[in-house]
């Protein structure tokens, strides 16, 4: 499961290395989620906050079911949303997805 997946670069590299294949991805930005879908058509992509989805999995309300996920990965934050980026707010539509 790839959290805060962006367009799927981390999942792509893990798959190329033969380490893992992303069955599920979670992304809160609509355009990034769509890019992930295009880059990984075999993956189920959830367009929502990963905290909500993970809570639902633990409580048994969401798929994948508790115990189905073998590895959870998450790359470094997008440069546009990093607390170290002094130019936040200038990167377009993902700003509207609830990021500061």
Q: Is 36 left (phi over 0), alpha (psi -120 to 50) or beta?
A: alpha
CA 5 to CA 76: how far, in whole Å? 10
CATH number of the domain that residue 91 is part of: 3.40.50.150
Name the pTM for this structure: 0.75
Task: Count the domains in the chain.
Answer: 1
Task: Reply yes or no on whether 78 is catalytic.
Answer: yes
Question: Which residue among 4, 29, 78, 94 is the active-site one?
Answer: 78
Q: Where are the alpha helices (DSSP H) in 4-100?
A: 9-16, 30-39, 50-58
Predicted confidence (pLDDT) per residue in 76-97, tens digit: 766 555 555 565 555 555 555 5
Domain containing residue 8: 2-97
Quote the mean pLDDT of the chain.
Answer: 82
């Amino acid at each position: 499961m790839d959290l805060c997946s962006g367009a799927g670069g981390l999942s792509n590299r893990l798959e190329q290395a033969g380490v893992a294949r992303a069955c599920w991805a979670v992304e809160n930005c609509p355009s990034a989620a769509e890019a992930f879908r295009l880059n990984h058509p075999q993956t189920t992509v959830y367009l929502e906050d990963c905290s909500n989805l993970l809570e639902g999995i633990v409580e048994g309300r969401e798929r994948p079911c508790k115990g189905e996920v073998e590895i959870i990965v998450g790359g470094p934050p997008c440069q546009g949303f990093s607390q170290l980026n002094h130019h936040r707010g200038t990167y377009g539509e993902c700003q509207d997805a609830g990021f500061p």
